[in-house]
């Protein structure tokens, strides 16, 4: 009965393999009652890539997901005053139930003068308030003319234990990144489109094998309407991955999603 319920929940989800149709569903509707959305699995499903019991604490919530939704919260104070405030995100499963909450920690000086290049720390907590993932972003360059100091993120899970990195790779035409393990060995590659402006449509970053011959997933920035994209910088993302992908890699891809938001979509007009 339990396996049948899981199948029913996943029915109709978009596939991530080459040639599969793109997402044709809108984001799950979220209720104003956040407590009602909170999701706590009764029994964590084992990850096929990891020995039983070796899941980092808190990441068991990711072990059964092939779709992770990230919703940036609208900052009304920033809209009114025209200032850059710390980003906040809700991380949800495919049913729209919140599994994590992420908050940016950065100083006002960095947000004002360094803008989208600012150094910051994103702390990801579960619904009990326990910090399960820490994402550290140092101050780095964002220019194709400076390939020696490109963007990089460090992912810790639990905090204090490095499990991976997201590193930008130099390319004259396409946004390219690699997902790396704790030893900085390449695991996957992420390749974005030539234009990330997303002219009234979704923007897809394809997740590929290291040799770039096979696409295994994608990170999508969803088009959420003219008003939202022009007058706010609240973005919606979807991470489509194999359900049995290592949860450490899934945590790194959540970090990559935050990096893409900073680099390509932080300004509201970039969502057009």
For residue 78, the 8-state DSSP code is: H
What is the per-residue pLDDT for 81?
A: 54
Q: pLDDT tens digits for the chain (272 residues)?
A: 444 444 444 433 333 333 333 434 444 444 434 444 544 443 333 344 444 447 889 999 999 899 999 998 876 655 555 556 788 999 999 999 999 999 998 777 666 666 676 878 999 999 999 999 999 998 776 655 666 678 899 999 999 999 999 999 988 888 999 999 999 999 999 999 987 765 567 899 999 999 999 999 999 998 765 444 444 456 789 999 999 999 999 999 999 999 999 888 876 443 33
Closest listed residue to residue 116, CA positions, set 266, 13, 229, 271: 266
Secondary structure class of 191 (helix, strand, coil): strand
What is the per-residue pLDDT for 255?
A: 96
Q: CA angle 81-272-79, nearest 5°?
A: 10
What is the per-residue pLDDT for 155?
A: 97
What is the per-residue pLDDT for 144?
A: 56
**Annotated domain spans of the chain:** 66-265
Q: Please state the φ and ψ torsions of residue 124, each to the nearest 5 degrees.
A: -110, 120
Q: CA angle 253-230-241, nearest 5°?
A: 20
Residue 6 vs residues 2, 27, 124, 156: alpha-carbon distances, Å: 6, 19, 26, 29
Q: Please state the φ and ψ torsions of residue 163, each to the nearest 5 degrees.
A: -115, -10
Closest listed residue to residue 102, CA positions, set 91, 115, 110: 91
* Fold exhibited by the domain 66-265: Porin (2.40.160)
Closest listed residue to residue 220, CA positions, set 207, 208, 238: 238
């Amino acid at each position: 009965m339990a396996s049948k319920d899981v199948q029913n929940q996943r029915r109709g989800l978009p596939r991530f393999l080459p040639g599969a149709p793109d997402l044709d569903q809108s984001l799950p509707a979220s209720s104003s009652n956040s407590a009602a959305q909170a999701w706590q699995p009764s029994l964590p499903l084992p990850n096929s890539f990891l020995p039983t019991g070796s899941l980092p604490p808190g990441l068991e919530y990711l072990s059964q997901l092939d779709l992770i939704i990230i919703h940036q919260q609208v900052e009304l104070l920033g809209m009114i005053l025209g200032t850059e405030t710390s980003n906040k995100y809700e991380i949800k499963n495919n049913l729209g139930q919140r599994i994590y909450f992420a908050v940016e920690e950065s100083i006002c000086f960095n947000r004002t003068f360094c803008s989208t290049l600012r150094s910051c720390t994103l702390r990801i907590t579960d619904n009990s308030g326990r910090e399960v993932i820490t994402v550290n972003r140092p101050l780095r360059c964002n220019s194709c003319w400076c390939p020696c100091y490109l963007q990089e993120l460090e992912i810790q899970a639990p905090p204090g234990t490095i499990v991976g990195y997201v590193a930008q790779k130099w390319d004259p035409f396409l946004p390219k990144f690699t997902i790396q393990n704790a030893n900085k060995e390449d695991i996957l590659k992420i390749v974005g489109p030539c234009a990330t402006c997303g002219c009234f449509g979704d923007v897809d970053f394809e997740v590929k094998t290291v040799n770039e011959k096979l696409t295994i997933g994608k990170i999508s920035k969803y088009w959420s309407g003219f008003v939202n994209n022009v007058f706010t910088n609240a973005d919606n993302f979807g991470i489509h991955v194999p359900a049995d992908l290592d949860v450490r890699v899934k945590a790194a891809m959540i970090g990559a999603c935050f990096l893409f938001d900073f680099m390509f979509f932080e300004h509201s007009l970039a969502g057009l």
